[in-house]
């Protein structure tokens, strides 16, 4: 039986993995599933923990962009640009929200496996390479210039991320990039879109799993949450600087190498 210190160490490690991988195109869910299997944390409470610590990562985005988000919400009634920004988030949010709501139980029961994650990592990696090879022309330099139709296209791309290992950030960033957004605009819109998507998914999952949790789980959940928040703040700042001067190719090769290695190990 694990000691409380060992449980907290596991929680901290999983929180770190969540914070580091949530907003880069490598699939945080996939990494958490793999890490949880490796650590022997595969029960219902473990799956709920993986969902819960995403709240820490979401709040990192809210904290980093608090001024911009606050202004958009407060000025939406009088500023068309702020209103358009919020409407774009709503339009991009709806496709994955609807499909996720309808297929939530099936996805969680059938697709949260190391084999699905490994295959998705490889396929997603090759798709990133394909988009980078195509070099789509840049038509949108700033998030504020995104059209409603483009927001819908990014939202449809996000539906793919319901498959573990695909990566929500990978689907939305590369979807936006393929539709003509600059690397930075695609990345920032993916950050903003993560707020309603991840809040909705996390709160819905926690509500459905409320019977599987107890007071004894609180310390581990708290540690994972805090570590996820702090690491996400650091990674988001660094990632924005990276995409300003680099392509996404390195993430593609990482995904392919990790996915292939996992498929060989699972044989």
* 77-133 pLDDT, tens digit each: 999 999 999 999 999 999 999 998 899 888 888 888 889 989 999 999 999 999 999
Residue 248 reports pLDDT greater than 60: yes
Distance CA 185, CA 37 (A): 35
Q: Which single residue is written with the structure tokens 């690397």?
A: 183
Q: Which bin fits 27, alpha (ψ -120 to 50), beta or left (φ > 0)?
A: left
Residue 63 CB contacts under 8 Å (≥ 6 apart), including other chains: 229, 233
First and final C-alpha spacing in the chain? 30
For the stretch 188-213, pLDDT in tens is 999 999 999 888 877 877 777 666 66
CB contact burial 7-28 (16+ within 10 A = b; e otherwise): bbebbbebbbbbbbbbbbbbbb
Look up the pTM and report it: 0.89
Average pLDDT over residues 252-259: 95
Give the ranges where the chain is alpha helix by DSSP (H).
Answer: 4-21, 28-39, 44-52, 54-64, 66-75, 80-110, 114-134, 148-159, 168-178, 183-208, 218-243, 249-265
Q: Which residues pair with 181 in a beta bridge?
A: 140
| Residue of 99, 85, 59 whose CA lies nearest to 194 | 59
Residue 105 CB contacts under 8 Å (≥ 6 apart), including other chains: none
For the stretch 219-235, pLDDT in tens is 888 999 999 999 999 99
| Torsion 203-208-211-212 (CA) sign | negative
Residue 2 reports pLDDT greater than 60: no
* Pair of tokens at residue 24: 């880069």
Q: Which residues pair with 140 in a beta bridge?
A: 181
Distance CA 190, CA 212 (A): 31
Distance CA 46, CA 264 (A): 25
């Amino acid at each position: 039986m694990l000691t409380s210190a060992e449980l907290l160490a596991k929680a901290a490690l999983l929180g770190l993995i969540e914070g580091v991988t949530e907003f880069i195109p490598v699939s945080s869910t996939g990494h958490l599933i793999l890490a949880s299997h490796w650590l022997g944390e595969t029960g219902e409470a473990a799956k709920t923990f993986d969902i819960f610590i995403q709240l820490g990562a979401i709040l990192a985005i809210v904290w980093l962009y608090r001024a911009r988000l606050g202004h958009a919400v407060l000025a939406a009634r009088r500023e068309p640009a702020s209103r358009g920004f919020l409407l774009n988030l709503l339009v991009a949010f709806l496709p994955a929200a609807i499909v996720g709501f309808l297929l939530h139980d099936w996805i969680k029961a059938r697709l949260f496996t190391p084999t699905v994650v490994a295959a998705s990592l490889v396929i997603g990696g090759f798709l990133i390479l394909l988009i980078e090879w195509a070099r789509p022309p840049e038509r949108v330099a700033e998030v504020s210039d995104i059209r409603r139709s483009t927001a819908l296209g990014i939202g449809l791309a996000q539906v793919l991320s319901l498959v573990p290992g695909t990566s929500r950030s990978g689907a939305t960033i590369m979807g936006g990039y393929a539709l003509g957004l600059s690397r930075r605009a695609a990345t920032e819109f993916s950050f903003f879109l993560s707020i309603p998507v991840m809040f909705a998914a996390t709160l819905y999952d926690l509500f459905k799993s409320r019977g599987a949790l107890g007071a004894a789980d609180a310390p581990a959940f708290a540690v994972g949450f805090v570590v996820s928040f702090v690491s996400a703040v650091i990674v988001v700042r660094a990632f924005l600087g990276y995409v300003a001067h680099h392509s996404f190719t390195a993430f593609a090769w990482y995904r392919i190498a990790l996915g292939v290695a996992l498929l060989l190990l699972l044989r």
